[in-house]
Amino acid sequence: MTLADVLPSVGLAGEPPLEPGLWPRTTHLAGGGDLTCGSVRLTRLAARFGTPVQVFDETEIRGRAESLRAAFPDAEIAFATKALPVRGVLRVLGFSADVCSSGEIAMARSAGVPGERILVHGNVKTPEDLKAAFTAHAGRIVADSADEIDQLAALAPAGQRVLVRVTPGVDAHTHRALATAVEGQKFGFSLASGAALDAVGQVLAQPGLRAAGLHCHLGSQVRDTCAYAEAVRRMVRLLAEVRERHGVMLDQLDLGGGFAVPYRAGEPAFDLTGAARRILGTLRLECDRHRIPVPRLVLEPGRWLVATAGITLYRVAAVKSGFVAVDGGMSDNPRPALYGARYTARLVGRHTKAPRRPWTIAGRHCEAGDVLAEDVPLPADIRPGDLLAVPVSGAYHHALASNYNLVGRPPLVAVAGGAPRVLVRRETEEDLLRRDLG
């Protein structure tokens, strides 16, 4: 590594500025069209680790964790590991872990998360998942159905703490594939029908189980802080109804996560301070109104903590008819194909005075839907060999990645203080063939 790799520098006049809110906080223009992140040039990372490569700024992750602790000082924070199931990230964050499979439980345990701080989720928990939860002495299991409560009653160790997942009927005004708190979807017990109150009673009727609290999750990419306040009102009312019917005061209220992040220039950022003020104020006010003690608040952010910390680097392979084809695609980022997620991108490593025009960034896979981003302003003279950087790619890329076309998944490289550190190595052809026993 040379001195130029670690020293911050300013960009040349004429280089387009970084879009605010989309890049990790240590990202800077570095001259010649290059960028630095964590005081490391992105062109050097691409040369050393190949492309595609996912880069993570540790400073960004730590800063967001500190902001969350400051906004909710008395809450328990459980990282939604489904957003980025990587041991190194869990260790950096130091939070509890929200998991939903035996694999995520194993990852959390390997990262050193104590069983007491593991919350087990999922609308389907297989026998293997439950066995892993019991072996890990998972602090809480979130019950999602009456059948699951029966299973827990029969199999769980005595005293297993259970949260009841409630569908509060709150519309978070997000994509329908990301909305989880409205009636008619697969998660939890309906509040409106009375099923949630009945489910709490079902847990309380089992002597081996301990009803620890209530859980709800509004969905993902939620920007409306009023939706969280409304969820608090409905959940506190249910806590009061539980006390009235069963004489029991549940001491935990888990509001899930779902805080939104911007993916393209001009999209609004989530107002964390305003959300905290509204959530905590509503919680105190409603508990006082119903004359119940304020429960311990639990939050489960995932995307908000890690999305903006990530940058994915791709190499341009071909340019034709308005398309820029790169060496990655839906195998390392299926979100655009799954639910129309939109991204931007930036040319890195070459300064050009060519005018910018809208391009479609296409992936390498044999699917017409393998498009990573549309209407992306890139230079008109973009050409094979150029390097593209896609910001806000820290959440759900690694987690949702596949081996479609037997393409190996890219590495994850953390950067901080001028030093890159591999969190997950690149998947090789040997890795891909190892499970094929034919």
User: Which active-site residues does the annotation give?
Assistant: 366
Residue 348's closest CA among 60, 29, 51?
Answer: 29
Residues with Cβ within 8 Å of residue 114, at least 6 apart in sequence:
none
User: What separation, in Å, do the N-terminal and C-terminal C-alpha atoms of the chain show?
Assistant: 44
Rounded Cα distance between 81 and 90, Å, is: 8
**Encoded tokens for 91:** 């260790």
Which of the 8 DSSP states describes residue 206? -
- CA angle 321–327–331, rounded 5-degree value: 110
**Encoded tokens for 152:** 């827990």
Question: Which helix (H) or strand (E) element contains residue 141?
Answer: strand 140-143
Question: Which helix (H) or strand (E) element contains residue 430?
Answer: helix 429-434
Torsion on CA atoms 212, 85, 376, 176, rounded to nearest 10: -30
Which residues are bridge partners to 164 per DSSP? Answer: 143, 214
CA 379 to each of CA 14, 322, 346, 357, 386: distance values in angstroms, whole numbers, following the listed order: 13, 12, 9, 6, 11
Helix (H, G, I), strand (E, B) or coil at 196: helix
Which residues are bridge partners to 306 per DSSP? Answer: none
How many other C-beta atoms are found inside a 10 Å radius of the C-beta of residue 235?
A: 25
Rounded Cα distance between 45 and 47, Å, is: 5
Which residues are bridge partners to 373 per DSSP? Answer: 361
Contact between residue 25 and residue 58 where contact means Cβ atoms under 8 Å apart? no
